[in-house]
Structure 1
Amino acid sequence: MEVKKVIKQDGEYICEIDVSVNEWKELLQDETLMTNNYKDVLLKFLSEPEHKSTCKALGEKYNVSPQSFNGTITHFAKAVQKKLNRFEVIGTDGTPSYWIIPMSGKYAGERFEWTIRPELVEALLAVKRKWTKTMRYFIGGFTWEGKSQFDRFIKEGIWENGYEEEKYSDLFSQISVGDMFALKSTFVKGKKPNAKSYLRIKQIGIVTELKSKSAIGIDWINNDEFDLTDIKWYANTLEEIVLEDDIKRIFGHAKNNQQMKSYIELLQSNKNLVLTGAPGTGKTYLAKEIAKQIIGAKTDDELKEKGQSAFVQFHPSYDYTDFVEGLRPFSVEDEENIGFKRKDGVFKEFCKKALKANISNEVDNFEEAWEELLSVVRTNLANGTLTKIGSWEYGLSTKDSLKYSSVDTPSQYNFTITKQNVYDAYQNIKARPSGAFQKDMEDVVEYMKQNQSLKDFQEGTISNETENNKYVFIIDEINRAEISKVFGELFFSIDPGYRGEKGKVKTQYANLQDADDVFADGFFVPENVYIIGTMNDIDRSVESMDFAMRRRFAWKEIKAEDRISMWDGRIDKWNNEAHKRMNSLNKAIENVQGLGSAYHIGPAYFLKLENYQNETNPFGSLWNNHLEGVVFEYLRSLPDSEELMSKLKNAYNNLTDVEND
């Protein structure tokens, strides 16, 4: 094997590795070698001016560790060397060097700047379209010589060309894995001259496999059939849909369903999901929609009514006591004194609720019986009488505890029994460490059994069946708080591999837990709890997410183009123009050095057009009142910011052609 040596010339590290453009093309298209991570990092370097950058600059741009770029390029280079198996490279220090196989490099100040080799640049430009292939849309029939193949196609997960292979072969050969395909029929209703043609969409799916020259595998999406009129007459057995409006009308709903399905599958398999992306892509709204699907709610009101979701928004002051537990002040009942007690944070409280829903065979109707008891006591008080329970007659305290007062005695003796006291006694737990008034509390329990239909308490068992008891906790702006400060020791418990009791940990206030607390022996995140976080890629209020936390979440980038369905039914008359302006502006933003897709303008901004529907230039008002300020912040620290602002405004107004590689 040939040994090649790195030399330093005029400050630049170089090495002649003799890999041709065609060889690079073959390597880049080798699916056994190329990972999505390799492709992503190479494309990020390729998109930089002159195809060069430092790992530090890319890390800051994409809000990830610089080491991730360094490590990925090194691993890619090692894979290339192993695949070629004809040379090894030795660095200037005498040790093996890998990064220089795809790159050259030099120091630019204190940072090391990498430049993609010219041969690799040419190869990347040739194959990148295949990596970033745009989805195409096809429509086909399902009847052969008068016999329907619909049921067979659905059952077998396929579509076949029923004609000889030559017919439609050119178009069929253009279908790729990942394209969308619709099964259709056409018919006419009415008589001439009032006859009307219809296109019936029977089923829609995603192409998953190229089986033969006339058959493709398809993952059919559960989609109700529907009819369309006033649309192109797609009468041929196989056709491609290229008109944007037709794509939207035929595939729009199914595409949204498929995207939602992929989000749900990602959350269910990982338990924790972060939706990340540019501002205005509707990540918070999407998180709530995912929660609805997971829980089985159709509307916001139904989601709230079910009580199986919670929403918090992180901020720099948010901490462990807000999220998990901490000491909180409270006023001592019927006194002016203030004390402190341990109180559950919003997440721990939510987990208790989820755990209770996942407990089977439990018998506990205390809440309903207690409310009935309070109603009886209030009614008696309104009639001027107290309620006799056991040896005492009770009224109510200011906090709805049972209160006995003997104001006619010299000692003016009084005591209160709280709801928690009675509930403890109901579960056969000593309500107070001293045991004081335990018998009186048990008397209240017995009274409730006789008069309020309180059932005998039966402790349940935790079930692993979570299908009908899923709980979703949404954390908006998850990167705006100091994550390690908020989660504390829960880094372990939220890990998908340590859900349930096997992930039990002692919290910071474990010594203050009540003996009857469900988490008295340690806190854990129940199996039926799912966490969704949202974050803007460009938010620098927290420099980066803690890496220990990053690996416990699945990550999904939500792109502006993915969420234009939010316009449906709201800005229909501006839909096409909004789409053109958004894409033009975002392409121009990508061409600004130091910016990228994380700085895109999302479709949610364009919903503000509703505020200007009576104006002659609603898009002008949208720019002046909403978009210009956002773009100004993007460009604030860049040189030639005024010139760049002018270019971006022109792109928004479609006054310039934006370069499209």
Structure 2
Amino acid sequence: MIESGKKPKTAGEYARFIEDLSQHCGKDIYGIQDVGEIGALVKRYSSDGADYIEGNQYHGGPRAAIKQYLAFHALDQVPEPPSVTTNQSSHTMTDTTDSIPPLNQILYGPPGTGKTHSTIEETLAILDPDFLEAHNGERDKLRTRFGELELSKHVRFVTFHQSFSYEDFVEGLRAEADEASGQLRFLPTPGVFKSICDDAATKVVVDEVVDLDLSGKTIWKMSLGNRSDENYVYDECIDRDRILLGWGSGIDFSKVKNKADIVAIFHDNGIEYSTGDYPVTAVNAFVLGMQVGDIVVVSDGNSKFRAIGVLTGNYEHVPREQEDDEFTQSRAVQWLKVFDPSTACSAIMNKKFMMKAIYRLGSDVIDLDKLRQLLSTKASDAQVQQGPHARVLIIDEINRGNISRIFGELITLVEPSKRAGNREALSVMLPYSKKTFSIPNNLYLIGTMNTSDRSLTGLDIALRRRFVFKEMPPRPELLADVVVQGVAIDKLLELMNRRIEALLDREHCLGHAYFLPLKDDPSVERLARIFEQQILPLLKEYFFEDWNRIRWVLNDHRKAPVNCFVLPSESNVATLFGDEFEGRAQEQTWAINEDAFDRIEAYLGILDSAAVAKHMVPIAQDGSVEYGGYRLQRLTDFTVKVYDKDVEQVALPILKELAIKLGISHLNRKGGKHNTRQLGAQVIKAAKQATT
């Protein structure tokens, strides 16, 4: 296998997988010379073969190995079985073939490197690789396909934060009002992780295909017993092709004609109800409302359903002395679809179920097109039409959550070898629902991690050894064609990151995504907004407002003052507090030079402190005036410059001083402060009027 081009690690794993299959099938696969016999084994362990589960161990590794072996054998390249160590402790979750996406992966890197952006491609590589290959690079089409998978619940998105908990992620107790009784109940409610696990594990136990005309059909929602302590009722109903209602106190309602008759029979049995009470409403719906041919959807809580059937019989009263319960109201039903475990109600519903035992589903609640497609399609065919069986959960900012608090005991089950269906599969008892739970092996986890928040070294060790880590570094080459008035943005980003790495570390670099808007708008104005609103605040956070180091990153210590983004403040301790001050204070304070954001020389100076703009921007018509001992200039790109004896000065402080003399407000109509360009335009205009 190594001679064929496979990496040594992959070839070694293939050899181990073939040994495992030899033990499973009771044959020495390396001793088989008949290609047809090997082909039969390939079929046996394929995705539709009799031993699919064994072939799918370690996410398809054995299946891929036997297929590769068949290809080698057909070419008379049968390899000798290599000597490999079978120490299971070394068999980690990274033991995957080159073409198979890992079950658990984390994209990590500094801010702005496209981690969340890349989750779309990573998801499609799992759920729809053919589409990704056909439309690679066509971002709009990839995003649209990703959106379709989101709507079909094949992919879900969650962001970890410091308040995120086990109850949010796995399951917790939620208060829900029973609309029938008005009582408040605390029910186990699945979180996003358990919900997608249930969806991934769902199998169709009963899969009848019918071509029903749903127009004019009445569709009912019904609960078959309480999930927590009456689940035996549901099991009985599925086994005996019927539905049972517990409301009615065990009374026989065979002779009733209307609600008044129901109230009367309750009265005859010593129970006083009015026509508006829910027991009367429930019995009325079951006995008189339901008709043969109606559709019944069996709910599981308010967000899932577990069966769909069609009514085939009229009302019957079935005594239940042996069961000793009140589920005596009965109707025959033909089950069309039964799901185990339950599936999300979004598959056929526009809203969640109400907490009522039985009620009619209106046209605004049930999606008839989805229901019709579900009932008229075989489950295996529906998988092809509606999407893959696999599911993807994207966890953004995975390192910001408390991993042990969020995953709890499930962190062990995340490991691929411990997933359901694998040889070393494990399960746990969930604390709230008291149900046995395991993680299916067709659920993929994609995390994103911002290394400026927390480095890999500080990450939970249990998480680190169960995930594949894929670095997402800054990619200046993506900006190679972006030039803003002579400033090569790729060189700008690369040099700033080299300085940050030298002063801090590589985990706090600047991502290329911040500068991607310049591809469509390569203007100084857009570059100024990026630096003022994103880059400089990020540097302040990185260096904890150590302005000297920020200046070193921006090369301000070697630039002319007018081109510096950060300047020493004119105020000092003596000016602020007087000569007698003996307290502790910073000797040097700093100020942001807002003028620099609009000057192309400020960005050229990051690359080379001696650089000047190659193309001088001309002065606008009527854009120059002498006033207050200064020469003011407004250029055609609206930049404003201020000179004192032919030496360019930092413009904004002088403009504010002149504005006061000219009676011009520093504020705009909305109450915000004028920037240098806005204030400069008004000062030049007023100065011209004052000097004429």
Tell whether the structures are fold-level matches, with TM greater than 0.5: no
Structure (1 or 2) with the larger CA radius of gyration: 2
What is the TM-score with the length of structure 2 in the denominator? 0.42
